[in-house]
Structure 1
Amino acid sequence: MTAVSQYAAVALQIAARSVERLADRAAASQQMLAMIEQIGVKLRSSSVFVQQYGGTPVKLAVLPEYVLTSYPGRISIPDFAAKAALDIDGPEYQALGKVAQSQQLFLAGNAYERDTHFPGLYFQTSFVVGPSGDVVLRYRRLNSMFAPTPHDVWSKYLDIYGMDGVFPVARTEIGNLAAIASEEILYPEIARAHALRGAEIFVHSSSEIGSPLMTPKALAKRARAMENIAYVVSANTAGIEDTTLPLASADGNSVVVDYKGAVLAEANTGETFTAFADLNLDALRHQRRKPGMTNFLARQRLEPFAAVYGATVGQPANGLIENGQVKVPDRNHFLRAHEAVIERLAKDGLI
């Protein structure tokens, strides 16, 4: 593969579409495949304009969070897994692969996904599909309020995938890519763990409240970029269709942030490709290899913090493993677990 040190990246801000009202998996899959076809058309037209405007070919496109299905709502976990979660070799990934292959770019996105090792569950997965049409990165969200995560089945997950499957970094011709899912941009450890494994570009699929004010996520995107000397390409939804929420509840502010924390481009509201900018890997790598007060990666001392992290238990591992078996939880399981952690931390005088 031929390395590309400078190229355009676009955060494609489009509306997510809920599958909640659809009758069954066949109807859900039909709608998802139709959406992927529409995404391909919109992305191709957007890429043509970006190149005409800036003169640089688009090599990376990021889609919003759960764009094909919207959030599960109160649908039970096994029911949503059966109805809407993608199979890792299913037709939806094949269709996304055709888009990436036909347009010769890396296509990042986010979807709920089934795993045959964990029947009845699903994981929220951020993925990158390469120009070959193959998935080159698959990251499963670790912090989620109402959904299973790899940490909930930690011992079994590590046996199957190891740490490379927990914090994957795709080393590609357009740089080292890693994914951050939705509100995980608020957790510095997620981005830092990827950066310590070589990540240079964070693809961030989100569905969040847009605002002209500085939101917590907007602030976090700048911070994660600056402290890790990494680009952040963050795509937000342009609203969520076919739910009971007002359409534009999660709309706007898709953004590209450079490795110094500066915003290179930001979208307004509605469906748009206008959050696009050139990424310069040579400049990023020069910054990482240059001694100075702003080289946060090289200056970070890790050992002093290991003992503190190791001695403090927040959300416990293996919350969905019982007597060595994976159990399928009800929705309220996660709230009960969250409340138990708060109670324990308060009892220990830590909060």
Structure 2
Amino acid sequence: MVDPYSVVALSPRTFQMKERQDGVENVKRINKFMDTAVMVGAWEGAPVRLVVIPEMAIQGMIANIPGNRDKEKHFAVTIPGPETDELAKKAVQLDTYIAAELYMVKDPDFEDRYFNVAFIIDPSGEIVYQRAKATSDAYEGGMLGNMNPHDVWDEWIAKKGNGNVMDAIFPVARTEIGNIGIAICHEGVYPEVARGLAMNGAEIIIRPTLIEPAVMTGMWEIQNRAHALFNHAYVVAPNLGPEIMPDGGMQDLFGGQSMIVNPRGQIVAQQKGWTSGDSFVCTTIDIEALRRSRIANGLYNQFKDLRTEQYRAIYDQPIYPKNQYLEEPPGEGWLAREDATRARNIETLIERGVLTPPTGYRRNGDTTPVSDTTEKVVGS
């Protein structure tokens, strides 16, 4: 039986990495605030069993030249590594699970390729979960040096899931406090990743971070509530605090508004607006109540109603090409290449009748439809 417990979602200030070791110092700073947040979180009346840290909280936004392999190699991290070691000490000390993220992460199965990876550390200090970000925005990879598993699709599925796509792309940590999956930042803009985690058993979906203007316009809230409601799961969504600049000033690129949403899509804890310091939200969740609701033969248990054959047809035709960087890593032409890929995708969707262009629309650049391109595209 899983007793009710408190969840704490941190919104720490961020500090950009200037040197490789800065990430460890950032973790130590976050850990100090975590002590306070967990102490206050326990005032809920139940012990804190899960602490969640936003995407990019540990490294900030590394200044990078897209495709600069030397610079990417210099800043690349490992899991486990010194950052996770510091978090592991805190997990043991506080007797709690800690969920966090690192980007530009080296992978032993893919030399010279880096991924954005979420992870969970258990109360014994062991890393019990890792998941690579599978969907990113148009410019994230080129700016941060991260690939998606889809870019090395064939090998990723074989090596990470032993041929099983669900295990390779939507892994879920089955823990003593519930089944947990993480949809990283921009992945939460789309419905599929959260649904994939839920269909692989996730009861808690962690959705860390979203950048402006998506927070101020309400997209962040709508998405988090929808993921909880459509997947009948808790959503824990921490966002970043302000970035502290070298001159002592601050800039707010993310807008805060961390929240925790219950399985009915109702916000049960929310940070309203932006603060100038470290902050957090917390609440008590009840996994056993969720499990009773999920197996009830009623309206809110939607899993039993899924007519999967008719939904599968939506995605029968590919849109974004897979295996782009299977044979060679991306180079300095990364951003231009991604821009051209997405332009082709738009033309493909127009040809299929999915999109209707406005009056006077003209094609720009390389608009060869994806269906006419090869799956394995190398170089940049």
TM-score after normalising by structure 2: 0.83
Q: Specify the SS of the correspondent of 2:79.
A: coil
What residue is the counterpart of 1:67 in the other structure? 57
CA offset digits 1:310-347 (Å, max 9, x no partner):
2x2111110112xxx23323331222221121122223
Q: Does 1:40 align with 2:44?
A: no
Q: Which amino acid aligns with 2:25?
A: A
Deviation at 1:350, TM superposition (A): 2.1
Deviation at 1:210, TM superposition (A): 7.3
Q: Which amino acid aligns with 1:56?
A: A
What residue is the counterpart of 2:42 in the other structure? 51
What residue is the counterpart of 1:283 in the other structure? 289
Q: Residue 137 of structure 1 contacts residue 169 of structure 1 at CA under 8 Å; is this kept in 2? A: yes
Q: Residue 81 of structure 1 contacts residue 114 of structure 1 at CA under 8 Å; is this kept in 2? A: no
Q: Does 1:317 align with 2:322?
A: yes
Q: How does 1:263-342 map to 2 (within 5 A)?
A: 263-268=267-272, 269-270=274-275, 271-310=277-316, 312-321=317-326, 325-330=327-332, 331-332=334-335, 333-342=337-346
Q: Which of 207, 228, 232 lines up with 2:231 in the alignment? A: 228
TM-score after normalising by structure 1: 0.90
Consecutive unaligned residues in structure 2, runs of 5 or more = 142-146, 356-380
Q: How does 1:203-214 map to 2 (within 5 A)?
A: 203-209=206-212
Q: Specify the SS of the correspondent of 1:16.
A: coil
Deviation at 1:165, TM superposition (A): 2.9
What residue is the counterpart of 1:156 in the other structure? 155
Number of equivalenced pairs? 337
- Change in CA separation of 1:315 and 1:211 when aligned onto 2, cut-off 3 Å: closer
C-alpha distance in 2 between matches for 1:230 and 1:251: 24
What residue is the counterpart of 1:218 in the other structure? 221
C-alpha distance in 2 between matches for 1:187 and 1:308: 14
Q: Does 1:177 align with 2:170?
A: no
Q: Specify the SS of the correspondent of 1:114.
A: strand
Q: Does 1:189 align with 2:179?
A: no
What residue is the counterpart of 1:167 in the other structure? 170
Q: Residue 64 of structure 2 contacts residue 72 of structure 2 at CA under 8 Å; is this kept in 1? A: no
Q: Specify the SS of the correspondent of 1:125.
A: strand
Q: Specify the SS of the correspondent of 1:253.
A: coil
- Change in CA separation of 1:172 and 1:251 when aligned onto 2, cut-off 3 Å: same
CA offset digits 1:199-251 (Å, max 9, x no partner):
00011211423788551121010000011110001110002234899611213
Q: Specify the SS of the correspondent of 1:17.
A: coil
Q: Does 1:9 align with 2:19?
A: no
Deviation at 1:151, TM superposition (A): 0.3
Q: Residue 11 of structure 2 contacts residue 239 of structure 2 at CA under 8 Å; is this kept in 1? A: yes
C-alpha distance in 2 between matches for 1:340 and 1:243: 40
Q: Specify the SS of the correspondent of 1:123.
A: strand
Deviation at 1:274, TM superposition (A): 3.9
| Percent of aligned positions that are identical | 28
Q: Residue 183 of structure 1 contacts residue 217 of structure 1 at CA under 8 Å; is this kept in 2? A: no
- Change in CA separation of 1:110 and 1:307 when aligned onto 2, cut-off 3 Å: same
Q: Specify the SS of the correspondent of 2:207.
A: strand
Q: Specify the SS of the correspondent of 2:330.
A: coil
Q: Which of 251, 258, 266 lines up with 1:254 in the alignment? A: 258
Deviates more, 1:91-100 or 1:194-203: 91-100
Q: Which amino acid aligns with 1:305?
A: Y
Q: Which has the higher contact order (CA 8 A, sep 6+)?
A: 1
Consecutive unaligned residues in structure 1, runs of 5 or more = none
Q: Residue 241 of structure 2 contacts residue 254 of structure 2 at CA under 8 Å; is this kept in 1? A: yes
C-alpha distance in 1 between matches for 2:217 and 2:7: 23
Q: Does 1:85 align with 2:85?
A: no
Q: Specify the SS of the correspondent of 2:183.
A: strand
Q: Specify the SS of the correspondent of 2:36.
A: helix
Deviates more, 1:169-178 or 1:232-241: 232-241
Q: Which amino acid aligns with 1:349?
A: G
Deviation at 1:298, TM superposition (A): 1.7
CA offset digits 1:5-55 (Å, max 9, x no partner):
310001101122212xx2xxxx322x1111111211111111111213x22
C-alpha distance in 2 between matches for 1:211 and 1:340: 25
C-alpha distance in 1 between matches for 2:63 and 2:310: 41
CA RMSD across the alignment: 2.1
Deviates more, 1:73-82 or 1:169-178: 73-82
C-alpha distance in 2 between matches for 1:313 and 1:73: 33
Q: Residue 26 of structure 2 contacts residue 59 of structure 2 at CA under 8 Å; is this kept in 1? A: no
Q: Specify the SS of the correspondent of 1:10.
A: strand
Deviates more, 1:266-275 or 1:125-134: 266-275
C-alpha distance in 2 between matches for 1:212 and 1:350: 28
C-alpha distance in 1 between matches for 2:48 and 2:261: 16
Deviation at 1:259, TM superposition (A): 0.6
Deviation at 1:272, TM superposition (A): 4.2
Q: Which amino acid aligns with 2:23?
A: M
C-alpha distance in 2 between matches for 1:241 and 1:79: 26
What residue is the counterpart of 1:131 in the other structure? 123
Q: Which amino acid aligns with 2:256?
A: G
What residue is the counterpart of 2:16 in the other structure? 18
